[in-house]
Amino acid sequence: MSQSVTNLRAIDPSPAAERQPAVAQPAIRIRDLHKSFGGLTAIDGVSLDIGRGEFFMIVGPSGCGKTTLLRILAGLETISSGAIEIDIPAGSQRPENAMVFQGESIFPWMTVWNNAAYGLRMRNAPAAMIKERVGHYLDRTGLTRFADYYPHQLSGGMKQRVSIARAFANDPEILLMDEPFSALDAQNKLLLQEELLHIWDEQKKTVVFITHSVDEAVYLGDRIMVMTAQPGRVKCFIRVPLPRPRAIIELQKAPEFGELIHRIWSELRDEVQRAREQENQDAAQDKRAKKEGQPS
Amino acid sequence: MSTQTIVAAPEQSFALSVRARERLLGIASPIVLLAVWEIAARLNFIDTRFFPAPSSVIAVLIDMLRSGELISNTLVSLRRLALGALIGGVPALILGIAMGLNRWVRAIFDPLIAATYPIPKSAILPLALLIFGLGEGSKIFMVAVGVFFPVVINSTTGVLGISSIYLDVGRNYKANRWQTFWTIALPGALPVIMSGFKLGIGIGLILIAIAEMIGAKSGLGYMIWTAWETFSVEQMYVGLFMIAIIGFVLTVLLNEIERFIIPWKRD
């Protein structure tokens, strides 16, 4: 099967099994994916499998192409080369994916209810289904009371809840989440992470979740992919063996938790450092270019 | 011997009293001006042939109200304004949004609009008369032209100003072209489009007055023009007053409409 295709650039000391991109029953299979913007290589030969029902986390330094990878999966970017296969069960009526965006993505001109119903309305779902689904997920996100509110009347955390309700209500095969909690304060973040886990537990959909927070990756994920600094490559895969359902507060006491955090950090540290050096170099180059461009 | 006491002014009450004073001055200044005008006219300090006393203007206004002349001319002008705003505004809205959404449409129409926009709209009145004759057509056309430009320009700007994340959401949730128009482009651009309409209707009001002065048999512009011809200055002031009132009422009305169709801006 997919084991025959290998493109492993990972060079890490973790157990061999975790370096394998392949899983038993992949919902998403990515092989040797390349993406460049003009002369800039954003993603350089990424291969990975994401299992059906897996909560898959991607961490990496800023500018490593993780958002680009997610946007490709969301159909918002094209690929330069490589292959992506998304396996949808035969006869599935569900849309392939729904994305929870970083930053404010709910429409200011729609009420909470209409925002949450957006995906279903766009695919002309029957009214009864819209009512049932939207009602359910607004309930699960604690927004029922705010159904008729406009976004400007909500806090940042509530807006992100609407965005999550919108994605879940659309009932996709795959949920894509692009640092959905990064703009929230620590307390709200914790609350939403727990809520997300609860909602996810209902159906255990396949999730691809991007974060720059190592803690978040361990709290939520079944498996974590660490990416290298630009150009984005797979550095390693790390399995999170913590049992579910998880209570985030309890996790912090578990000895495995500390170990995992430590391990991910040591993988990530070099990359963050490298990303920073790159930035410095770029800035220096810009400066030089400017100087040379100046008439003497 | 000296004692100094420093008392911190209670800020809020100070701010309130300033606002109250502002409002009072806003009401008082026109009243004072009218009073001064009235006195000056009665004492013959000013030439009443040009500046008739406000009381005599009001007397003429009442006469004209009684005879129905004022109402009928006002309604005629309002009808032309409304039809012109519709005929100019709706295509401008559609074209503007299309230009905002599609770069090719923008590439085709942008230069045309940029080239024709600076032409003073009043300068095309003779052309309008030539094409549409002396009837309603030329008046409505002038208003339509006046409304068209600000609406088309603001619609394009409004759509281009929509944050790209909303368009990404539309694409991710598989909204088709039509759905994107109705659920993202139109509501997202609506606040900017509304200010285009407000601007356009202001320009339309200017143009209707001008258009009715030449080759018209009715309307407020015609009324003002005939007042000049018959040297009935009071009637002229009545016409100017009426146009000012229409402008004011339309502004209030458009603000209300804006509050109604853009409820997400309400607080």
Per-residue pLDDT tens digits for B95-110: 999 999 899 999 999 9
pLDDT tens string A197-253: 999 998 889 999 999 899 999 999 999 999 998 888 999 999 999 888 888 888 888
B26 lies in the same domain as B83: no
* Residues A122, B165: C-beta atoms closer than 8 Å: no
B116 lies in the same domain as B71: yes
The yes-or-no verdict on residue B10 having pLDDT over 60 is no
Provide the pLDDT for residue B267: 52
The yes-or-no verdict on residue A12 having pLDDT over 60 is no
Give me the CATH number covering residue B211. Answer: 1.10.3720.10
Provide the pLDDT for residue B220: 94
Cα B74 vs. chain centroid, distance in angstroms? 16
Residues from chain A contacting residue B185 (CB–CB below 8 Å)? none
B223 lies in the same domain as B193: yes
pLDDT tens string A102-129: 989 999 999 999 999 999 999 999 999 9
Please state, in angstroms and as integers, the Cα–Cα distance from residue A152 to each residue in A106, A107, B169, following that order: 10, 10, 18
B129 lies in the same domain as B31: no
Name the residue among A122, A151, A152 with its Cβ closest to that of B175: A122
Name the residue among A74, A110, A151 with its Cβ closest to that of B172: A74
B12 lies in the same domain as B76: no
Distance from B203 to chain A by nearest Cα, in Å?
A: 29
B32 lies in the same domain as B141: no
Scanning A117-232, the segments in alpha helix (DSSP H) are: 118-122, 127-140, 156-169, 186-203, 214-220
**pLDDT band with cut points at 50, 70 and 90 for residue B26:** confident
Provide the pLDDT for residue B208: 94
**What is the average pLDDT value for chain B, to the nearest integer?**
90
Please state, in angstroms and as integers, the Cα–Cα distance from residue A260 to each residue in A24, A67, A181, A238, following that order: 23, 23, 21, 8
Residues from chain A contacting residue B175 (CB–CB below 8 Å)? 122
Range of the structural domain that residue A220 is part of: 13-96+172-288
* Residues A109, B172: C-beta atoms closer than 8 Å: no
* Residues A99, B172: C-beta atoms closer than 8 Å: yes
Nearest CA in chain B to A176: B172
B73 lies in the same domain as B202: yes
Residues from chain A contacting residue B170 (CB–CB below 8 Å)? 122
Name the residue among A75, A103, A109 with its Cβ closest to that of B165: A103
* Residues B173, A107: C-beta atoms closer than 8 Å: no
Of the candidates B47, B51, B217, the one whose C-alpha atom is nearest the C-alpha of residue B133 is B217
Domain count, chain A: 1
Question: b/e for A171-185, b at 16 or more Cβ within 10 A?
Answer: bbbbbbbbbbbeebe
Work out the angle at residue A95's Cα, subtended by the Cα atoms of residues A204 and A179, and round it to the nearest 5 degrees.
60
B99 lies in the same domain as B40: no
A148 and chain B in contact, CB less than 8 A: no
* Residues A75, B171: C-beta atoms closer than 8 Å: yes
**H helices then E strands: how many in chain B?**
11, 0
Q: Are strands A97-100 and A223-227 parallel, antiparallel or unpaired?
A: unpaired
The number of beta carbons lying within 10 Å of the beta carbon of residue A226 is 26
- End-to-end alpha carbon distance in chain A: 63
Provide the pLDDT for residue A290: 73
* Residues A109, B165: C-beta atoms closer than 8 Å: no
Alpha-carbon torsion (A62, A65, A70, A71), positive or negative: positive
Looking at the domain assignment, is residue A66 inside a domain?
yes
Rounded mean pLDDT of B69-82? Answer: 95
Phi, psi of A47 (to 5 degrees): -130, 130
Looking at the domain assignment, is residue A57 inside a domain?
yes
Distance from A150 to chain B by nearest Cα, in Å?
A: 6
Q: Which residues of B touch A (CB under 8 A)?
A: 165-166, 168-176, 179, 183-184, 187-188, 190, 262-267
pLDDT tens string A136-165: 999 989 999 999 999 999 998 999 999 999
Residue A264 class from Cβ within 10 Å (0-12 exposed, 13-18 middle, 19+ buried)?
Answer: buried
Nearest CA in chain A to B165: A105
B64 lies in the same domain as B183: yes
Take residue A257 and report the two structure tokens written for it.
């938790």
Amino acid in the structure at residue A168: F
Domain count, chain B: 2
How far apart are alpha carbons A156 and A189 in whole angstroms? 10
In which order are the strands placed within the sheet that holds A81-86? A40-51, A26-37, A81-86
**What is the average pLDDT value for chain A, to the nearest integer?**
86
B62 lies in the same domain as B97: yes
**Angle, helices B69-101/B136-160, rounded to nearest 10 degrees:** 40
Which is higher by pLDDT, B10 or B163? Answer: B163
B73 lies in the same domain as B28: no
**pLDDT band with cut points at 50, 70 and 90 for residue A296:** very low
The yes-or-no verdict on residue A3 having pLDDT over 50 is no
pLDDT tens string B109-162: 999 999 999 999 989 999 999 999 888 999 999 999 999 999 999 999 999 999
Nearest CA in chain B to A103: B165
Provide the pLDDT for residue B266: 61
Q: CB of B186 within 8 A of CB of A135?
A: no
Of the candidates A166, A119, A93, the one whose C-alpha atom is nearest the C-alpha of residue B174 is A119
* Residues B187, A107: C-beta atoms closer than 8 Å: yes
Rounded mean pLDDT of A23-30? Answer: 84
Take residue A50 and report the two structure tokens written for it.
């994401």
- Helix H or strand E segment including A100: strand A97-100
Cα A201 vs. chain centroid, distance in angstroms? 17
**pTM for this prediction:** 0.79
Of the candidates A124, A119, A92, the one whose C-alpha atom is nearest the C-alpha of residue A105 is A119
Provide the pLDDT for residue A270: 85
B25 lies in the same domain as B153: no
How far apart are alpha carbons A133 and A130 in whole angstroms? 5
How far apart are alpha carbons B209 and B133 in whole angstroms? 17
Range of the structural domain that residue B32 is part of: 1-46
Of the candidates B175, B193, B177, B245, the one whose C-alpha atom is nearest the C-alpha of residue A118 is B175
> Is the omega angle on the peptide bond into residue A245 within 30 degrees of 0, that is, cis?
yes
Give me the CATH number covering residue A51. Answer: 3.40.50.300
